[in-house]
Structures are given as structure tokens and as C-alpha cells.
Amino acid sequence: MKRKINVFLIFGVASVMAVLVYLFTMGHRETYTTYSTIYTGIATNAQFDNLINIIKSRETLEKTAIRLMAQHLILTEPDPGYCLPETWRKLMSEVPVEIKRMVEISYSKPPDNPKKDTVLPRVKTKYYTIKAGDSPFGVCKKFGLTLDELNRLNSPMPPFNGGQRLIVGTLSEPNWVDTVLTKEVPVEIADIVSDENLLRYERLVKAMTDFKDANQENYLFKTLQSSNPYYGVQKISEVRVTRIQSSDLLKLSFDSNDPAVCMQTLKILTDVFRSQYQNLVQSDIQIIDNPVYPVKPNASRRMITVIAAIMAGLVITAFLIILLEFLDTSIKFPGRLAELSGLKLIGAFPWIPAKPDNRINYPLISSRAIDLITQRIRLEDLRQKNRGEQPFILFFISTRENEGKTYLATRVVEKLRASGSKVLYIKPLETNSTDEVKLQFNSFDQPLQAWDYEYAVPDNFISIRNINELLRNYTFLTKGYHYLVIELPALLVQEYPATMTQSGHLAIMVARATRAWNKADDEVVKLFQSSIDHPVLALLNGCQVDQLKSVIGEIPKRSRLSFG
């Protein structure tokens, strides 16, 4: 039974983990990968390491992130060539008002000036001093802000007591610079509609870069340092750079859950890297293969994750069961009781649950267990036939209370009586039987009272010499009884009559399978053995049915015809 429960736990936990992982990964988007190949014209490993360090440098990654975000911001509507609609909408819903105004300012046209034809907005913070009676809603209405935008500009929001300064936006002044700043337009925006848009893109990139460098508390700086799946430096740093065999070619690859962002990120990164490299070594590199739009998603790792969860569930649950079994100090097995107590085993009796499994024939199992116990008692009786007409005296003992002595003694006595033997059964008065003991008596309509006499344990119990003194009936004769069964109180709770136990022929020590055996049990059993000459045999009560194979052989099952 317990083995079946363990098997159920192992596969049950593995199944639950698999279902949870499956449900947890249900909302995860597919990933896409694109590649780029660069001709470097160099051959030494040290030079290749330098190239990789440039690609992975923070400056390259931040420039890539800003250019990617600027590329999305200048779109007036989602364009699947640059990003998916959900990516664009999420960005536009998060970006603060000052970034949006940079986009608007990027439309500005320079005055007629042949030497200065590019406008780069200089961003300044705009403040408002709170006056008595002002409220957040009033300030928002006055400056055309939403409450969320006001909160983002002022974190934390100061109290409206009068005199405090609020940031209510930015003031942008045209800052005309030479055309040399925008002379070369990156490839990543080469397919944007017009030259005007190219300049607009460069103006926006410059404004965003200045804004990011202004302080470390603004939206742009925090986004780049965050784990943002598109614009975070951490994400872009996942680009993989490998040298193709021993050639002078580099292969770059990048993954993203947005196929357009995947392509554009690698495209921008290669262009930024190329520009950085040219500025450092005054040498050029060639892009052999530009990144392409990945049409097919990568093979899903979802099923691999689910299978891994199943294996983890199996291994972890099995390990915990083994660990608990190892830490479990209860007796459990018949052989373990014999090993711990040092006594030979006379038998074992099964644990009978309150709601027995209909597939297991518990009445037949318990009956066979009692048959084997009574058979061994009879064999011991035959071995000691030199006692004359004296009855065979059998003591039922235990080291602790509530071990099930009375129930097992009752079953043995009833079996002996059923075979025609005359049996006298004497037991001590008990007032603290546990529910487990009572449940055993209620199983399979067993008699609640098979004993002939109950005795109160006297103060001089240790000096009791015979049954007459025990029952305080000096005219009682035991002649004519074949078996005399005497149940003694728990040896660790009550002293025992050493003189009377010496007159016995066999003692059966009952122990419950669900408890631990310790040194106190061992010592009191050895003490009892030292005071008698007859054998003491061990009987395990309440062990799992599958542990009875070593005692009764094959476990009988109910036939299917008897299930109804």
C-alpha cells in the first residue's frame, strides 16, 4: 500500500510540475534569430578580441539602444518592418511627455544658413512654483499634462503647501550645428522615406543622447539600465559574436521575440560598431551579410522545458521519499523488529485502515497471520510436552502501552478455542485504550471481550507468585486448561511479577510498527529475558500489507466477482 502511495506521489508531483510549467509558458512569445557577417581584414586573435570588446562595449550598446528607440518613436503608426504593433503601442504608452516633445521638435527646420543646416534641440527643465490653493489636477490642466506625467516628472511628488517647485516639462531651444555632425547617415534608416526624415532621425538621436547624459534619474537613462526586452543594454548585450573558423570573418547573431526588432537591433549594432571601429583605427570593415527579417521562429523549447519539469519532479520526489525513509526510525518491517530487539520473530499482523482497499483481502490476510502465530505456539507447546498435566502458560508482553497486545491476544485465544483447546485468558484492567486499538477490535466483527478475568495491578505486583495471588482467589484451579494466556502491563510503565513469569513456557513481545525502538526498549527486554528460562518471541503489529510477504507469503487479493 505504501509503495503504491509513493509511486502515486512520484508520478503525481511530476505531472503537476509539467502542467504548471506548461501553463506558465503558455503566454511566452516565440523567439526569432537573425545573423550578420562582417569582414574584418585582420587575422590575429588579439585583434579579434579587440573587435569583440568594441561590439560589447557599453558605449556601443547604449548608442544602439537609443537609435533603436528613436527609430520607433518617429513612426506615426506601427510599421511591421521596424517593430510589431504591440511593441510600438507599449513604447508609446510608457514614454514620458518630455521624450514625446523631443520627437515633435525633431520636425523643426533650420533657418537659411549655408553652414548650419541641422537643428539639435537643447533641452532645459521647466519649473513651476506651487502657490496657495494649487492642486495637482489644477497644475496638470494649466500645463497640459496628465496626472501620471506630472508624477513621472516629480518623483516623489512634493506636498502642495505653497512654495515648492514642480517640474512641469521641458523647454527646447534650437541649437544649430554644422552639417558635419549629420554628414553620414546610418544604414539602418536608409529606407526611411526622405532626406528630411533622415535629418529628423539624427536630430532625435542627438537630443535623446543629451537627455540621457543630463542626469541618471530620467526615463531614458533608467530604461537603458533596466531589463527592458528591446531597449535595455542588458538585452542588447546578449548579441553573440564568433569568429568563423580561422578566417578574418565575424559572425553576429541576435534573438528577440519581435522579428522586426531582432533584425533592426543587429542592423543598428553593426553600423554603430563599424563607425566606432573607423574612429578608433582609421580603418574600415565590410558588412558581408546584412541581417534579414527572420520569418520562421526558433524551435520552441516549451516541450523540452515540460519534459525537464517531469524529470525534475520524478527525481526530486523520489529523492525526498528515499530521504524520508532513511530518516524514518520507526520499526516498520518484521525483520527490522527482530534485528532491533534481538528476538526471534513469531509473526506479524497487518495494519487495517478505516476504509480498506477492496482489492486487498484483509480478512484472509489477518486470519492467515493469526493461523501462523497459533501454529508456532502449538509447535512450542509440543516441544515442551514434559510439563505433565500443567497448562501451557503464555505471556503477552510489550515494552510500551497501546501496542495492541489485547487485540492480538484475543485473536490468538479465539483461534485456539476454535480448534478445540480450553483456554483461560487473564488481562489487566485498562482505561486508556487509544482509538487505534479500539479500531482493531471493531474490524471484521471480532469479539470485544474474549478474556475470562481482568485484574487490577496491586501495589505488590512484583512479588506475585502465581495466578491465585494475582486473582486473589486461592480456590481457583487451572487444572483442565490446555492454555493459560496472561497479559502483563507495559514493562516500561509497570513492574512485572518476576516469580510468576518464571513459571511460564513462552512469552510473546508485541511491538507497534509505526513507532521507534530505542535503548530503553532494548534494556527492559534484556532484563525480562534474564529473569526467565523460556523463550521470548517478537510479534509486529500494524505493519504494511506489502511487508507481510516475508511472513505469510503471497498477499491474497479479492476476486473480481466479490467486488459487489
Residue ranges covered by each domain of the chain: 1-30+301-328, 33-91+185-289, 332-562
Which of 229, 185, 223 has its CA nearest to residue 204? 185
The pTM for the full model equals 0.50
State whether residue 267 is helix, strand or coil.
helix
Asked if pLDDT for residue 8 goes beyond 80, the answer is no
Helix or strand holding residue 233 (H, E): helix 233-236
CB 497 within 8 A of CB 461: yes
The four Cα atoms 182, 188, 193, 195 give a dihedral, to 10 degrees, of: 10
Superfamily of structural domain 332-562: P-loop containing nucleotide triphosphate hydrolases (3.40.50.300)
Q: Residue 58, class by beta-carbon neighbours within 10 Å (0-12 exposed, 13-18 middle, 19+ buried)?
A: exposed
Single-letter residue type at 253: S
User: What does DSSP assign to residue 494?
Assistant: S
CB 173 within 8 Å of CB 121? yes
Residues 263 and 254: their CA atoms lie apart, in Å, by 8
Q: Which amino acid is at 25?
A: T
pLDDT at res. 58: 93
Q: Would you call 490 helix, strand, or coil by DSSP?
A: coil
Q: How far apart are CA 499 and CA 470, in angstroms?
A: 12
Per-position DSSP letters for 430-466, written without gaps between them: -S---HHHHHHHHGGG--S---SEEEPPPTTGGG--S
Q: What is the pLDDT of residues 436-483, one digit of tens each?
A: 544 544 554 444 456 788 888 888 899 999 888 888 877 777 788 999
Please report how many Cα atoms fall inside a 13 Å half-sphere around the Cα of residue 98, on the Cβ side: 25
Quote the pLDDT of residue 297.
87
What is the mean predicted confidence (pLDDT) over 397-405? 93
Place of cell 516469580: 499
For 507, the enclosing helix (H) or strand (E) is strand 506-512
Q: What is the DSSP letter of 184?
A: S
Determine the length of the chain. Answer: 564
pLDDT in tens, 45-100: 777 888 888 899 999 999 999 999 999 999 989 898 999 999 999 999 999 988 88
Identify which of 260, 257, 247, 258 has the alpha carbon closest to the alpha carbon of residue 288. Answer: 247
pLDDT > 60? residue 384: yes
